[in-house]
Structures are given as structure tokens and as C-alpha cells.
Amino acid sequence: MSCYTQPFSSPLTLLSSSRTFSSIQTDHYHPTPFQKYAHSRPLATTIPVPSLASTSPGTPSAKPLSQDSWVESLRSQVRSNLFRESILTYIQMVTLAGISPDNFAFPAVLKAVVALQDLNLGKQIHAHVFKFGYGSSSVTVANTLVHMYGKCGDMGDVYRVFDRMIERDQVSWNSIIASYCRFQEWKLALEAFQLMLFDNMAPSSFTLVSVALACSNLHWHDGLRLGQQVHAYCLRTGNWRTFTNNAFMAMYAKLGRVADSRALFEFFEERDMVSWNTMISSFSQSYYFLEALLFLHLMVLEGIKPDGVTLASVLPACSHLEMLDRGKEIHAYALKNINLFENSFVGSALVDMYCNCRQVESGRRVFNGILERSTALFNAMITGYAQNEYDREALDLFIQMEAHYGISPNGTTMSSVLPACGRCELFSDKEGMHGWIIKRGLERDRYVQNALMDMYFRMGKIEISIYIFRTMEVRDIVSWNTMITGYVICGHHDDALNLLHEMQKVETEKSKDGDFQDENRVLLKPNSVTLMTVLPGCAALAALAKGKEIHAYAMRHLLASDVAVGSALVDMYAKCGCLNLARRVFDQMPIKNVITWNVLIMAYGMHGRGEEAFQLFKNMSEGDKSDGLRPNLVTFIAIFAACSHSGIVDEGLHLFHRMKEDHGVEPASDHYAAVVDLLGRAGQLEEAYELIKTMPSEFDKIDAWSSLLGACSMYKNVEIGEIAAKNLLQLEPNVASHYVLLSNIYSSAGLWEKAMDIRKMMKEMGVRKEPGCSWIEFGDEVHKFVAGDISHPQVEELHGFLETLSERMRKEGYVPDTSCVLHNVDEEEKETLLCGHSEKLAIAFGILNTRPGTTIRVAKNLRVCNDCHAATKLISKIVDREIIVRDVRRFHHFRNGTCSCGDYW
């Protein structure tokens, strides 16, 4: 192992090196850095600098300055932060005045080197240390050298200087431990701390601060154990100060023990600005956003004025809670204190806050108002654009960042702009961006890898995303969340749930094995993003048990109050058929945003409870406007859908015609499509067709024509159906559902030849019909059934049960509706085909595998056909079960021979 990575071998020999200090001296002594400062023009200063004339031997009256005068002048300049001037004084003292530097001069000039971050100059000073005989005689000078190399970025020389020290004091050990921490060599820092104790050197408060930092960067199990031991030592020896308490608070928070951090904060009364900032930052980083805002309030009450760190730490809480008004108050405070507003961290946090609250223009105004633009500020603005899908603006700013401002993008920049690349249709060379990343050497950056996975998912190239994920050296929580999100986006909901299970299994197994040695390992603990990402998968598969398990996890880890998680829980319960539980979660949420309201309005609509949905809409639109909560585009889509499923035609039409005047929302193409569906479902096909003809020419009419075609299929209207299909096939010739619906219209009308022509056209175009598919959750698994599929292990038992059940249903008056079989075959074969519909197989599976009285919940990817609807009503009565079926449009609650939709769907 090299001296840069080799751990301490024993308390006697800290490290070994093949190079000697004499070789270092000859290798690194170059005059160039001294010449650079000697020829630079000194800045004006009021600090007295010895005149060169006073040291000129040719002037009889000249009185040479003493060594003490030179050294004091040098030290005075360093104390006044005149570092370049102090270097020039040092050069004049040594080269012109012939004064030898001593153990007071070297620490001063080395401090100037650290401030200037000039490693080459530092190495020349190091050579002077040997030249003038202080290489081994002064522990103070040696300590300053260790500090200089640690600060200027050469860990190898830190090792070598420390190893050659004959005498070491407390400062020596503090310097080496701090240097290890600076280079993120956390384990070596702790080994050095152990050797310090073996050397009978008592740690100081500064030592403990560095050790606490090292503990906080270990795996949480080891870090917490060692950190608690160090904390106990600190308390036992009475070696605690305010800054040590701050270090331990930060350590506990980073190791996931925010409650311990808060207890320590409240236990000690001697708190300073750093104490408050540490707690507020810890709360924000641990997603305890309400607590972060509470502590800001308490801080102000204590009479402590927030600084830049405070604002940069608390603004993310406003951002995540979407508390725009509170964020604006903080912005106003920053504007009153101009040094805060010009702080790049505060500026970046303000941009992030406004963009997260969907005030992108305000975020850009903040960006434009900051003259000193850093990489972090550009990253915040690019991220804000990308998150709000201002993809073109994100890409433009990314290009300007380097082309016009000369700021090189880093891994964070790339991880921010890649989502915009994936979505932006105008940006065609998406794989080229991947190549650019490789050329810049960023392809191993974990954050860039996460963003690349997301981009390829959005491009539909799932296999590339999986390859990147499986070949990552270290996967963090974002990596897993990205994969889960990608699967959900691509409709692979079962893969998303399986990956969540794998994620938890990996963490559990490694914890059981005691695998805490990998310093790069990160804790795979599902966070709010994981939950809000995977819950739609539970909703899509009607996996209620898994959804409840996730809800319980959210409650245990205080994540249920997060507005995004709460909204996802409302959606999950509603789509699993538990509308009452959805409403309960909604009512218990401390903060609701427009998405939360939209989800519940949509839920009531899908369950056929249009009146309640309308009442919710009124409550939302007539509520307190101070929180910025107003109906948006999606709200009106949700309420029109609710009206459609409940047959509330007149109220829906009135709202459509008044939405701009009463609510300031301009009707968009999606609203026209929703109202076409409202009219079409009510059988008003002519009115729906006329509404489409009134749509502005620039609007996308695909969804409107699709809604009309679906209504024509429902009411078997060939004439208007052909018009709708003709327009759709021109706009989307590769979408199977358009062909299928037109073929169904022809088949229902007995126009078999036309139906066959449409199916032949589909085949020639290479368009394939999506097979009917249903899901039902049982135990820890989601069982999938496809129409006509015989692969399920219980398939024979299921078909036998359905045949027996069919006989009982016939006695109850059931007559198979063979018009739902749109094939030109005999009636007996049609009845056989009906028996194999996926929802019937799923219902049969539920009846056979669950206890009597258990509610059966089934999800289907297509609309429930008339025959299955009629059959399920009778099945619910015969087996005395509630059967909840969610099709692509709405919910059907079957109970005691009736359906909640009232046969209107």
C-alpha cells in the first residue's frame, strides 16, 4: 500500500515512507514561487514594512533592523490578513536583509501560505525550515507544516512531516487527525486518535470535534457506537464546550438520531449561532421540515439573528412543504440584509424554494439579481427548470453556463439537466449527452448514473437503465428510487414492488451479516420519495396489503405528514377501493396542496360519487385563498370526470362554460376531451361531436376523438364512430385501441366483413391489441391473469369453479351476453370465451383462496365488458361477498347483486 492509504501499523511507527526529507528538500526547492511574489506589486497598506534603504550596507547612517523587528512586521501583516505583503516581507528579510527566520517567523509565513493556497511556495518554505535548522528542533514549526500540507492538499507530505517529528504535542495530534478528516480518511483519523491515547496525550476539545466528524461519516452502526463512546469520554472528563456540543449534535443527526441531537441541544444552555444552525440544518436534512421552521421561530424569540447558514438551511423546509408565503418572508429578510442576499448559498436556496413552489419566474428573477454566480446557483436554476419541465430553458442555461460564463458543469449539473434531455423532443442527441459525460470523466459519478437511468427509462430503453443500476459500485437511496420510479413510469408496477422488497432485503441481510466495513455503503432506508414513488404501483395493482404496510412504515418514521406521501396514500387507498380510508388520510393531513385535493376529487369521481366530488370542488374553490390554493387545470379534469361517471351533465357543462370567468382557468384540450366524454357517456353523441368541431384549431384533438369513439362503441353508433376513427387513424395510426373500438362497433352492428377489414389493417400495420389483464393481491404476491391464459398453476381449478358457478348463476336468471364476444363464431364458443375473461379468473381465484366474507379487490387494464359486469353482480350475491373491480375508467362495487355504478359506466 502507498503511504497515502496505508493505515497506522503500530503506536511506535505511525507510517513508513521510502522518501526522506532531504530528498523532498531537493525535489521541491524551486525559486519560481518566490520570484512570483517578489516581482508582484505590493498592495497599499498601513502596516509598517521595513524599508530596504534601512538595510543597505552602503548607507553610513543606515541602521539595520533587528530580527525581532522583521519578524514582528511579518506577523503583524499576517494578523491583518495581508498575506501577499507578508510573503514579500519574508523574501526581503531572507534575501536582502540576510536575516534568518526563526520559530516565530515560520509559523507566520506558513499561515500566509495556507491563506493563499500555494502548495509550491509552502514546499519552498519547508526547505527553508531545514536550511535554517528548524527541521527537527521546533515542534511549533513542525505542527504548522502539518497544518499547511493538510490545508493545501498534499496528504503524503502530511504523513511524512508528522512521522519525522521527534517531539509531538497535543497540537501535533490535532493537526494530523484534522488533516485525515479534511481528506475524508475517516478510519485513519480514528486510528490516529487511538494512537494519541496510546501516546498518553490527552485529547482537547478540538480533538473531539474532529473525532465526532469522523464517527458521523462511518456506517451508522459503527459510527453511533464509537461516537457514543467519544461523547461519554467528553462528558466524563468535563472536556465539553459549546463547539464540542455542536459537533456531537451534528454527528447524531447525520447518523439518523435526530432525537438525540435535539435532546443534547435542549440539555445545554450555552448555545450559540452554530448550535441553532446545526439543529435547523439537521431537521431539514432529515425531512423534519415543520421542526426546522419551529426552531427558526424559537431562534428569533431567543434574540439571535439568522445568518446565511440559517436561511440556506430553513428554506428547503419551505420548499418541501410548499409554504410559499413563509419563503417570501425569509426572502424579504435577506433583502433587508444585503450581505445575506448576496450569499450564494442563500441565493441558491431561494431559487430552489421558488421553483419547488412552481414559481419558476420568481426563481429566475432571484438568479438574475445575483451578480456573483457560482456553480451551485446555476445548478439550482437548471434543477428548477427541469423539475417544472421547462426543459428547453434548462438546456439553454446549461449551454450558457460554460459557453458564456466559463463555469464548468459538475456531476450535480449533469444530474439536473439529464431529465430535461430525456423529455425534450427538440433535443434529439440524448445518447450523445451520455458520450459527453464519459469524455468529461463523470460517468462513475453516482448522481450522474442515477440521472442516466432516469433518462433511459423515459426513452423506453429499460435494459440500459437496468445495466447501469446493476453495474454501479455504490447504490444510494436515490439509485433505488430512480429504478422504482422508472418501473412505475413504464407500467412495470410488479417490478417496482419487487425492487422495493429487494432493497429492504439487501439492507436486512447486510445488517445481519455485520457488514459494516464498507465505508462507501449507504443506508437503504426508504424515504418520502421512495414511498410517493412506489405507492402508485400499489394503486395500479390494487395491492392494498402492501399499501397498508407502506402506510404503517410512513407512520412509524414520521413521513405520513409529508404532503407528497399523504397525497400518494390518498390516491393508493382510493384506487384500491377504500374510499373511506382515503378520506380519513386526507382529513388527517396537516398540510394539503392542490394535488391532494385533485386526488380526492378524482377518487370520488372514479367511485361514482359525483355529488361528493362536486362538494369537495366547492370547498376547495371557496376556501381561504391566502394559502394560494386554487383549482388548476387538473382540478377541472377531475371534476368533469366525476360528472361523467355520475351522469351529472348539466352541472358539468355549466362549469365548463364558466371556468374561465369564475376561476381564471382557460379551457385546454384535456378539458374539451373530458366534456366530450361527459356528453358521450350520457348518449349525447351529436352534441359531443359538435363540441369537438368548436375546439381551437391549434388544440390537440386526439383525446377528444378517442372519448367520442369510445362513446360510439358503447352506444353502437356506426356513423359518428367512423368519423372519430378516421380522424384518430390519421393522427395516431399505430395505436391499437382505435382499431379495436372501430372493429367492435362494426361487430356489434353485425358488419363482420368491415370488422375483419379493420383487423386485417391492424395486422398489416403491425399494430397489436393489448390483451385484457387483471390483478389480485393474495398474501405477499400480486397474481396476474390474462384473458385465455393457461399458465397460472390453479388454472384448471379456476375454470372448473367458474363452470360450477355458471350453473348456479343460470338458475338465478343469468344469460351470457355473447354480444361482448366480437368474433364471428358460434354461440357456444362465445360462451366459452366469455368464461376466460381475466377479471372472472381473478375473482374466482379470490373466492377460492380467501376466507368467506373477505372483500375481493381486482384491478383491470381495460373496460369491464357488459357480460362480466352482469356476471359479477350475480356472483356477489351467490357467494355473499363484496367484490370491488377497478377498470381503466372507474370503480364498480358489487354487493348483493347490485353495482355502485347503477349500470351507468
Residue 688 CB contacts under 8 Å (≥ 6 apart), including other chains: 676, 679, 680, 707, 708, 711
Architecture of the 688-769 domain: Alpha Horseshoe (1.25)
Burial of 387 (0-12, 13-18, 19+ CB in 10 A): middle
The grid coordinates listed for 506 are 439487501
Is the pTM here over 0.75, yes or no?
A: no
Residue 29: per-residue pLDDT: 38
How many Å apart are CA 624 and CA 197, to the nearest integer?
63
Q: Can you list the alpha helix ranges (DSSP code H) found in 490-576?
A: 493-512, 528-541, 544-556, 563-575
pLDDT at 654: 95
Strand partners, 784: 775
Of 205, 166, 218, 221, give the one whose Cα is nearest residue 21: 166
- Tell me, what amino acid is at 582? A
pLDDT value, residue 11: 29
Residues 105 and 74: beta-carbon distance below 8 Å: yes
The answer to whether 621 touches 630, Cβ cutoff 8 Å, is yes
Q: What pLDDT is stored for residue 781 in this prediction?
A: 84
Spans of the chain, pLDDT less than 50: 1-31, 41-62, 514-522, 822-831, 834
Q: Encode burial over 877-895: b for 16+ CB neighbours within 10 A, e otherwise.
A: bebebebbbbbebbbbbbb
Determine how β-strand 883-886 pairs with β-strand 898-899: unpaired
Domain with CATH 1.25.40.10 in the chain: 688-769
* Whole-angstrom distance, CA of residue 264 vs CA of residue 858: 51
pLDDT confidence of residue 8: 32
